[in-house]
Amino acid sequence: MSEHLAQRAAALDAADELAGARKLFALDDAVYLDGNSLGALPAHVPDRVADVVRRQWGELRIRSWDESGWWTAPERIGDRIASLVGAAPGQIVVGDSTSVNVFKAVVGAVRLQDDPARTDVLVDATTFPTDGYIAESAARMTGRRIVPVDPADLVSVIGPSTAAVLLNHVDYRSGRLHDLPALTAAIHDAGALAVWDLCHSAGALPVGLDEHGVDLAVGCTYKYLNGGPGSPAYIYVAERHQAAFDSPLPGWNSHTDPFAMTPGFEPADGAVRGRVGTPDILSMLALEASLDVWDGVSVDAVRAKSLALTDFFLECVETYVPQGRVTCLTPGKHAERGSQIALRCEDAPRVMRELITRGVIGDLRRPDVLRFGFTPLYVGFADVERAARVLSEVLAEA
């Protein structure tokens, strides 16, 4: 049976329209299934970063703010990300961390409402912990109440007291994909604003921010966008909200005339209102270089391959792994699946350590979840078959 699956994997790789993208990354012989935590390094980025350091910073020095385009990088790179998440130009600005941008977005959404009767901020009860911490703090600071809610129960909970809702597009632990179009519509039907966290979906599947009327969104760039460890995050402010968007972190970079250095704050037009302080140029330009791997790539093709990879992984696991040794937490339905597979497993910490020792790199969510992220630009079907086979070997030894 293993020979049959290996042959199928080879045939699938031979027919893969995205297979050529793998050579754009600096990879070794390991099976890297942790791109949902840190994307692999695009091979050309070190030389680009070296130019930023040696020539732009080392030779041009302060002139690079103009001559090398440093000053406009947050908007320029934001427009490149916009094309990957279904947004028109001028609505995304890059900078700060995801956590900081969640704070801007939640407070900004409450201020856009400007309605004291809307007392509640709803937050995904299964959210990545920091999103919950930030949302709770934002609610306190705006005099609102935080209400944790399971996304499956949102429609029954949301109502006239809801100001804003913060949801994850894909659950970080299970890989469940939430229905962004339907949930956004339900939020709007209740008169509230929708804030989406795209950390586990941008670069892995179509998002459609403009098409589905999302109000605000945030996301990181170091997972499926391969921007590098700690690369700057981004915030999306829909064009219809930009004139009224009141950021809780006004800084000189978001001033309409930043170099006037006036004591009073006058917000700039457009998405620039999402900026705060001096951009982190080295990591930002590394991110810009990383986005080159997306040139000519269709997000729809990425999504199709992602589903094929995860389907094949589940088939291989079912074939190789003895029944009852792992339980899949990720939904089987394509419409409910992101680009990762989460398996509950007894003795998961030991299993993941041994997998990594044998060249299959996934990650662990304590106490008992093995996570495997599938980045279609550089993960192939032979990788998938090998990962499942090694997993079965490790479990057999246990």
- The catalytic residue positions are 128, 197, 222-223, 371
227 and 207 in contact (C-beta within 8 Å)?
Answer: no
Residues with Cβ within 8 Å of 394's Cβ and at least 6 positions away in sequence, in order, are: 351, 354, 355, 358
59 DSSP 8-state letter: I
Q: Could you tell me which of 340, 345, 337, 341 has the C-alpha nearest to residue 321? A: 345
**CA 152 to CA 160: how far, in whole Å?**
19
Letter for the amino acid at 268? A
Q: Could you tell me which of 183, 158, 149, 162 has the C-alpha nearest to residue 109? A: 162
**CA 87 to CA 35: how far, in whole Å?**
23
Please report where in the chains the tokens 């912990």 appear, as a residue.
129
Residues with Cβ within 8 Å of 298's Cβ and at least 6 positions away in sequence, in order, are: none
Reading the block at residue 396, the tokens are 């057999």
Reading the block at residue 373, the tokens are 């992220």
**CA 348 to CA 395: how far, in whole Å?**
10
**CA 120 to CA 220: how far, in whole Å?**
26
Residues with Cβ within 8 Å of 189's Cβ and at least 6 positions away in sequence, in order, are: none
Its sign, for the CA torsion 41, 44, 47, 52, is negative
Letter for the amino acid at 317? V
At how many degrees (to 10) do helices 2-14 and 381-397 cross?
Answer: 160
Residue 73's SS3 state is helix
Q: Could you tell me which of 9, 18, 27 has the C-alpha nearest to residue 297? A: 18
